Amino acid sequence: MKVVFTGGGTGGHFYPLISVAEELNHIIDTEAFAESELYYFGTEPYDQEALYRQRLEFREIPAGKNRLYFSFSNFSDIFVTLRGIIKALLTLYSVYPDVIFSKGGYVAFPTVVAARIMRIPIIIHESDSAPGRVNEWTGKFAQYIALSWKEAAKYFPKDKVAVTGQPVRHAIAHTTEHGSHEYLHLEEETPTLFILGGSQGAVMINDVILDSLPELIEKYQIIHQVGKDNYDEVDIRTQAILEGNPKASRYKAFPFLEPLAMSMAAGAADLVISRAGSTIFEIAAWGVPSILVPFSESNNDHSRKNAFNYARIGAGVVIEEMNFKKHVLLSEIERVLSNKELYSNMVDNAKNFYDDDAAEQIARAITNIALQHEAQ
């Protein structure tokens, strides 16, 4: 059995691929699949160590972006994409996999085009309640379409759709409460806010959190994933804002949280403040109430749709970017954490929303289609 994984560019695309690969490897190991080969086709490894751990062999495939705004790079990137399609054709021919699993995004486009030309079966997974352009196009000829949100089903052929939920890595899905306060140097009795802007951070969220720091640390302690590219600036600003403040140690900023630290942070968290991408499903797995700040310029408005769909089930609340100001944030945090009935309902609704077998469902679909293709 040979399987090619493709998609990426952000952690929201990449890590669900890793979750499915993790489950697929489990099936391969426990059910003794002979001569299984797994590959990852993309522009670059988003997380080389994660590829290595899941036995995914990396093959570089160039891909050009098609931006939603005017840019001269849109024209030059056409040739990058054409080069990527040619390279994907040659690389797929050398490997000749039984199935392609795509998470979509511009990184996946050359590979799924090449797979379509070569008539290699394709499975896709869509994380958002409104699909990205690559997945919406690929869905027209994919054999199996896995969805995180039932709201996305209307964009795809009904007979191919399965609402599986979102694959979440085992190391992230389960919180680690025991020892989390010691590990992260937190106070035991102080409520903990966990701030996430996605795998690359979110400058807008960072700015509002820093503006609110003096007020926040009076009542709460904060774990803040700021993004690798933003960490130095945040560190400089934080030192200026909290200089001489006796409660400055209540604020903990991190450029990026590895799985163990993420699990510890989730275990300590009383409330999560986050963007509204794939992270929603991690928050649901943790069973922690959340305040979601959707990205206002996402493709097909998917971030906003994700946030409000999640809020409708009563697991989180939404503050839109235009309203995400210091006084609104402080008010919403207080409202959620001070209302015991509201808080308890949000915990229950988050836990009920999460499907813990999404990765297994998709991995089973991959093996079934791969075996059918092998037999032809």
Report how far residue 120's alpha carbon sits from residue 370's, in angstroms, rounded to the nearest whole number. Answer: 10
Does 137 share its domain with 186? no
Query: What is the distance in angstroms between the CA of the first residue and the CA of the last residue of the chain?
Result: 13
Does 121 share its domain with 187? no
Q: What is the pLDDT of residue 183?
A: 92
39-77 per-position pLDDT tens digit: 999 998 889 999 999 999 999 999 877 655 556 566 677
DSSP H helical ranges for 31-72:
48-53
Does 146 share its domain with 270? no
Report how far residue 134's alpha carbon sits from residue 138's, in angstroms, rounded to the nearest whole number. Answer: 6
Sites in the chain below the pLDDT cut of 70: 32-34, 66-75, 198-201, 298-300, 375-376
264-306 per-position pLDDT tens digit: 999 999 999 999 888 999 999 999 999 999 987 766 678 899 9
**pTM more than 0.85:** yes
Which residues make Cβ contacts (< 8 Å) with residue 215, sequence separation at least 6? 326, 330
CB 278 within 8 A of CB 16: yes
Does 201 share its domain with 114? no
Q: What is the pLDDT of residue 10?
A: 78
Q: What is the pLDDT of residue 59?
A: 97
Q: What is the pLDDT of residue 77?
A: 74
Q: How crowded is residue 256: how many other Cβ atoms within 10 Å of its Cβ?
A: 15
Does 30 share its domain with 151? yes
Report how far residue 165's alpha carbon sits from residue 352's, in angstroms, rounded to the nearest whole number. Answer: 12
Does 163 share its domain with 192? no
**Between β-strands 99-102 and 37-42, what pairing exists: parallel, antiparallel or unpaired?**
unpaired
Distances (CA, A) of 251 to 190, 217, 235, 284, 315: 12, 7, 11, 24, 26
Report how far residue 363's alpha carbon sits from residue 16's, in angstroms, rounded to the nearest whole number. Answer: 12
The burial class, CB within 10 Å (0-12 / 13-18 / 19+), for 70 is exposed
Cα-Cα-Cα-Cα torsion 275, 278, 280, 282, nearest 10 degrees, comes to -120
Does 139 share its domain with 187? no
Does 178 share its domain with 325? yes
Does 198 share its domain with 345? yes
Task: State which residues form the domain around 80.
Answer: 2-167+356-375
**In CATH, what number is assigned to the domain containing residue 38?**
3.40.50.2000
Total tally of structural domains belonging to the chain? 2
CB 294 within 8 A of CB 276: yes
